[in-house]
Amino acid sequence: MKGQFAGRMAKAQKSFIREILSVAQDPDIISFAGGLPNPAYFPVEPLRAAADKVLASDGRNALQYAPTLGYHPLREFIARRYAHKTGLQIDPDEILITNGSQQGLDLVAKILLDPGDEVILEAPSYLGGIQAFSLYQPHFQTVALHEDGVDLDQLAAAAAREQAKLFYALPNFQNPSGITYATAVREASARILHENQVFFIEDDPYRELRFLGEDQPPLSSFGRERAFLLGSFSKIVAPALRMGWIVATPPNMDKLIIAKQAADLHSNYVSQRILYQFLLDNDLDAHIAGITAVYRRQRELMVAMLEECFPPEVSFTLPEGGMFLWVRLPESVSSMDLFNEAVKANVVFVPGHPFYVDGSGQNTLRLNFSNTDEAHIETGMTRLAQALKKLYGV
């Protein structure tokens, strides 16, 4: 209608986390809120050297328009790494380079969702996913998460529904909960999705940030026909490069290419070239090992502080990787109230309820352990425990 925004904007919301991050700008505030990698481990010098090399040796090509799928050697690198790390065999032409994996969420939603289609979400789920899907006006169904992954009975019931179109899953170190699916749950989930002809997005930006336990095969490796496997260099190199990818089989990829061309023709080509040069000239495994060693220590300290300073009614997950852990307060405690008290004590986190689309999770919260050094984790967690005590006397 004249002078009005499109209907699809009616339910879409601004990112709650970005609003919170604006509070966290104050340098006195210790923030466990953002999902930021630790900038101390950004490879600044190696990226500068890679940029110099690309621009000096092949600047005119690197600055030209480029193919939609992305730089072929970079896609070969990603395919080789999947084969080596997970056994998953993919052709480089089954990889589309995207503007971060966030764009992957939008593109897949764009090619699949009509208004009213059902999207099955884990509860809780990634806010950026919920936001991306919301613009295509689906109905959301939610399925519970247990320590070893999605509730299979609930997934089977949701997938069997006529309108069920897409399952959105984060099987490794989920954002926000830190939960990882066991291999058997992956296999069973893939079977359920296959039987019910439901597409799925496997959003996997944290896969390589494992610091405990064993690697698990991608859920997509148990059935690729309707799978969109999303990856990203944001957490293992640097998020500002905005380099992510989608793995999809040819018929699905054909549709993605149309959506990608309409959105931006192709991802930033000079960024792809610089990233590839960086990957050629440096040892990515050694770089990631440096990051995970630090995240592991930070995660262990945060868990130790939760055990020492918080009452036993407060429970939390024990992530084997990634950047987040998930805290459940006693039922009667509101994490939003705790947030307001914590801000006064100069510490912030993300209250859990926005990660649920059904208004539940009022007593949950997400803590990020990647972006704060150990001294600040100790101080921040002490402040948080005091805020909880002040508010509820627990």
Ligand X SMILES: Cc1ncc(COP(=O)(O)O)c(C=O)c1O
Catalog residues that contact ligand X under the rule CB under 6 A.
35, 100-102, 126, 128, 170, 175, 203, 205, 232, 234, 239, 244
**What phi and psi, each to the nearest 5 degrees, are found at residue 228?**
-125, 110
> In whole angstroms, what is the distance from residue 309 CA to residue 59 CA?
55
Distance of closest approach, residue 173 Cβ to ligand X, in angstroms: 9
C-beta closer to ligand X: residue 201 or 385: 201
Residue 110 C-alpha from the chain's centroid? 19
- The half-sphere exposure of 232 on its side-chain side, counting CA atoms within 13 A, is 24
Q: Which is nearer to ligand X, 203 or 341 (CB)?
A: 203
Smallest separation, CB 113 to ligand X (Å): 17
Measured from the CB atom, the residue of 107 and 303 that comes closer to ligand X is 107
The closest alpha carbon to 201, from 138, 262, 146, 147, belongs to 138
Question: Measured between alpha carbons, how far apart are the two ends of the chain, in Å?
Answer: 53
**Smallest distance, ligand X to C-beta of residue 11, A:** 20
* Complex with ligand X: residue 310 or 356, whichever CB lies closer: 356
Using CA atoms, how far residue 303 sits from 119, 298, 360, 368, in Å, is 33, 9, 24, 12
Of 264, 308, 284, which Cα lies nearest the Cα of 209?
284
Measured at CB, which residue is nearest to ligand X? Answer: 100
Q: How far is the CB of 305 from ligand X (least distance, A)?
A: 23
The letter for the amino acid at 366 is R
Q: How far is the CB of 34 from ligand X (least distance, A)?
A: 9
Closest CB to ligand X among 111 and 333? 111
Q: Please, what is the minimum distance in Å from the beta carbon of residue 59 to ligand X?
A: 26
Give the CA dihedral 311, 315, 319, 320, nearest 10 degrees: 80
**Least distance from ligand X to the Cβ atom of residue 195, Å:** 26
Nearer to ligand X, 138 or 205 (CB): 205
Query: How many angstroms separate the Cα of 96 from the Cα of each of 62, 245, 272, 277, 288?
Result: 18, 5, 12, 19, 23
State which residue, 176 or 333, has the beta carbon closest to ligand X.
Answer: 176
Q: What are the residue ranges of helices labelled H in the chain?
A: 16-23, 44-62, 72-86, 100-112, 127-134, 152-159, 183-195, 250-264, 269-281, 284-309, 335-344, 374-392
